[in-house]
Chains A and B, each alone.
Chain A
């Protein structure tokens, strides 16, 4: 694990005093209705780099060769921009939110279940995408999405994406499942060998399944659940709990469980399926007919950034074709930059991860932060906020 190498921040908060900038032209996409973030401005042009940048990132996103000498895209960045990179690896979205609140960090690789919280609390500033030249080549269906923009204002640069797939043991699970019912309504068949992702955000997976199987609940968005819809999802998960062998949050633990046969069916990431198959497990990962949940990470800039120019340089660097290909391949996710597909070491990488497959991503409900104002636009009800998802998750596990 990488050690924290953050210099103690001493200077007072530097305000972004640049003039307003119109970046709503980049087009469509939904935005969270009812969410009124503080009116912060994105810079109109970049100044001189500050000599360093402090990042909060998922493990494997900011590699300088200290974990593996062959995996290094930070050293080149430092040489070119003169910005010394200090990275802090966060283990969860919640930790990321907490770290960004300290104001000691300039940028963060936030998943959708953290980004809205950062925007709403005013910890993340809008991003002027014109100052990030490589933004041009990012897949259009990643731009201006509900988790990285609010009211036509971009709040970050897409990094990469992945889906939460259904993985099963091809020897033990027959016939091959095509629906999430394998882990919900039909889970009893594999009692004690079903697995699920150990996080409150997994409640959305149940909601996604209910959206398809119980139309009378009228679920539109699995991250915008009113009390009734939420309770139905929680009930479903409580029933599922009886059949669960173990929940997973550490992906190596899931690989070992599928290898030994302790888990035979459950949610997974593409990278876990590849790893398990490489290690000889008889597994296959599919996108069920109901679609699935997934993540799409966004590099955001702190509203209190002390090194905004270096932060913008980093944003541009991490989505540049070659680096984006390296990081996507190392982490095991689809790159955000369309040109990255030509730069991967494994030429089939983008096909395996469906990087350019628009129809595939249409079926993915990307992680978002459940808030009281329903994200699907309903105004006649209030939705269940994330804090209650967390309490419900404890209750589900019993």
Chain B
């Protein structure tokens, strides 16, 4: 195609033509040129760094100078599995990620149903834009805004006071709430797409067969949308599992797996690496589970 284009230009640049010709005749060369850079990125930089992370988890540290000593040992993984506090923090982190994912799914469904099927068609793009709007603001600004909302006597307290309640304050609930706010758009978007693509005929057929609203939702809408929820959950789950800044700002005294990695990174790199492999393993397991739902093909 390049050859015809430059030929048509009427000023044959022989070098470019020869190159184009060579590329045309050698499909493998074409493929190599196309994929070398991304593959290098994926294999060397991305997977390579994960490999280095995993290997360095087997090293040890000089306890006084914090120098990494390249002596093979499984001490770090042993500590990881036997120290109660690590187990507790890992379970807490997974719990937070699951809670955030569940909350996002519950909140996203009605919102997406409205933006995809109820709202007037010409409003729909605007509504989707509104859903995505928070993503334009800085992560830190949003989290600090939540710190203010949840502070003692802040808007959350003020809003709940008429009901005789108080805001959750800083802590685990505040962390779940803030993370849900942060990642909700990533859940709404795939669900919105799935609902928008749901053929109207399916709903009509369901009604013709005598199903009422709830029956239709349960037997027609939910099964079609489920893979999209699973796809969205990949985002909400992995983003929550890796987050350590939100919990520092609104989490009170809570620590999650990311905080442990951060606390150890300067002083005990191998232990930090061992702790860092936990979310990787958890997310790989999660992806395998999600794959069974067929969701990865609708990402």
Contact = CB atoms under 8 A, between A and B. Distances in A.
A179 interface: no
A262 B266 contact: no
B169 interface: yes
Interface string B258-299: 001001101110000000000000000000000000000000
A192 B268 CA distance: 31
Contact of B152 (A117, A241, A261, A390): A261
Interface in B127-141: none
Contact of A246 (B61, B63, B148, B170): B170
A137 B260 CA distance: 43
B252 interface: yes
Contacts of B263: 390, 393-394
Interface of A is mostly: helix
A385 B260 contact: no
B67 interface: yes
A387 B67 CA distance: 11
Interface in A358-390: 371-372, 385-388, 390
Contacts of B264: 390, 394
A97 interface: yes
A260 B147 CA distance: 10
A94 interface: yes
B152 A247 contact: no
Interface in B110-161: 147-148, 151-154
Contacts of A47: none
Nearest to B85: A395
Contacts of B66: 94, 97-98, 117, 387
A192 B169 contact: yes
Interface in A215-264: 241, 244-247, 253, 256-257, 260-262
Interface in A151-206: 192-193
A274 interface: no
Interface string B239-268: 000000000010111010000100110111
A339 interface: no
A92 B264 CA distance: 12
Interface in A139-153: none
Contacts of A97: 65-66, 266
Chain B, interface SS category? loop
B88 interface: yes
Contact of A261 (B148, B153, B251, B255): B153
B64 A372 contact: yes
A394 B65 contact: no
Contacts of B63: 385-388
Interface string B81-116: 001010011000000000000000000000000000
A203 B181 CA distance: 36
A352 interface: no
A193 B268 CA distance: 31
B64 A245 contact: no
How large, as a class, is the contact surface on chain A?
20 to 34
B253 A262 contact: no
Interface string B39-73: 00000000000000000000001011111000000
Nearest to B147: A256
A279 interface: no
Contact of A387 (B61, B153, B170, B249): B61
Nearest to B170: A246
A76 interface: no
A321 B270 CA distance: 44
B64 A120 contact: yes
Contacts of A94: 66, 266-267
A214 interface: no
B65 A120 contact: yes
Contact of A260 (B152, B251, B253): B152
B178 to A, nearest CB: 14
A363 to B, nearest CB: 29
Contacts of B67: 101, 121
A22 interface: no
A393 B255 CA distance: 11
A117 B253 CA distance: 29
A390 B65 contact: no
Given A387-B267, A395-B85, A260 B151 contact: yes
A338 to B, nearest CB: 35
Contacts of A346: none
A95 interface: yes
25 contacts: A97-B65, A97-B66, A117-B64, A192-B169, A193-B152, A241-B253, A244-B252, A245-B169, A245-B252, A246-B251, A256-B147, A260-B148, A262-B169, A385-B63, A385-B64, A387-B66, A387-B268, A388-B63, A390-B267, A393-B263, A394-B85, A394-B255, A394-B264, A395-B83, A398-B253
Given A97-B66, A256-B151, A390-B264, 8 more contacts: A97-B266, A121-B64, A192-B169, A244-B253, A246-B253, A253-B249, A257-B151, A398-B89
Interface of B: 61, 63-67, 83, 85, 88-89, 147-148, 151-154, 169-170, 249, 251-253, 255, 260, 263-264, 266-268
Interface of A: 92, 94-95, 97-98, 101, 117, 120-121, 192-193, 241, 244-247, 253, 256-257, 260-262, 371-372, 385-388, 390, 393-395, 397-398
The 10 tightest CB contacts between A and B, nearest first, are A94-B266, A260-B151, A387-B63, A261-B152, A121-B65, A246-B252, A395-B85, A244-B253, A262-B152, A94-B267
